[in-house]
Amino acid sequence: MPFQNSSSRSRRHNLIVTGIMALLVILVVVVVLAAVLSPGREENTSSDVRQWSGNGTTKHLREIILGRCYNYITTVNPELKDKDCLNIWEELQHAFIYKHPCNMQEEDYQPLKNLASHSVPCSKSLFWSKTNDLVHRYTKANRDFFTLEDTLLGYIADRLTWCGSVTSPGIDYISCPEWKDCDSNPVTLFWKMASKMFAETACGTVQVMLNGSLEAGAFKNNSFFGGIEIFHLNPEKVSTMQIWLMNDVDGPQRDSCTGHSITTLTNILKSRKINATCENNYRPVQFLQCASYPDHSTCKFCS
């Protein structure tokens, strides 16, 4: 057999080196693709460092929103059966995904509002401030009244959190801004939009349930009710607001219908041509409170 010359050996060496380099390139590409396409990627942000004070976007947000929406239009309020839940979710997501969570505008939710808004029967709108648990126990027991959380938008979003991220995957699951971080965050702007809508659709006689056991007073100008909702009531549609001032059964009774904060509220309403009435410890709601404190002296209605 003749000996191979140096040129032939060099070519074979070069082919081997080239093959090894190609294999290395392929291996790197496979590793990168595996990392990008691995399960659960969509619920991670580009960084695991918390940027904001609040909790991150609620996990499985899409599934929760869709499930609540379908339940609402099927069993809670079948009159809204023609609402498009998938479209509602897509408009909610579109409002905040891939956006900086402190640079949102309330107008970002306008398409969602157009899709999900609906009327509330006259004289059935029930507003509230600092009575979250009690007011919703009442509306569950008395289906004649609607709080914001009993409307479609309020129902699907209650107690959920979401915010966007300018980096992939466009949603921050680690942390989201609260009011103290910035007041233009997605959740705050959502509830501002929903609160305005709820107030604007109210008609007839409306109700508000306030907490008379608060040290700072039952009515606060900077609450969603005090700062947004009462100023979006339409005096041409709303004639009267009934104030139900509820004190905690086992707590202090710091406010009353003749107190300073309620006087402030009634004056605001009257300046907007809306009549106001007030009742201390509205009896039907107090019965509900007493279900938890049956032996309390306040709950002994009969001698």
Residue 73 has φ and ψ, to the nearest 5°, of -80, -10
Q: At what angle are helices 283-290 and 132-141 packed, to 10 degrees?
A: 100
Q: Decide: helix, strand or coil at residue 27.
A: helix
Q: In what order do the strands lie in the sheet with 204-211?
A: 126-129, 204-211, 238-246, 275-280
Letter for the amino acid at 53? Answer: S
Torsions phi, psi of 239, nearest 5?
Answer: -95, -40
Looking at residue 252, its amino acid is P
Q: Can you tell me whether residue 221 is helix, strand or coil?
A: coil
Going by the DSSP 8-state scheme, the letter that residue 164 receives in this structure is B
**Integer Cα distance of 223 and 130 in angstroms:** 9
**Side-chain-facing half-sphere of 291: CA atoms under 13 Å:** 10
Backbone angles phi, psi at 74, to 5 degrees: -100, -45
Q: Cα separation of 9 and 85, whole Å?
A: 70
Give phi and psi for 158, each to the nearest 5.
-55, 125
Task: Tell me which residue of 163, 31, 154, 70 sits closest to 108, measured CA to CA.
Answer: 163
How far, in whole angstroms, is CA 266 from its chain's centroid?
Answer: 29
Give me the catalytic one of 102, 122, 182, 299. 122
Burial (Cβ within 10 Å: 0-12, 13-18, ≥19) of residue 185: buried
Q: Which of 85, 203, 257, 278 is catalytic?
A: 203
Annotated catalytic, 102?
no
203 counts as catalytic: yes
Residues with catalytic roles: 122, 203
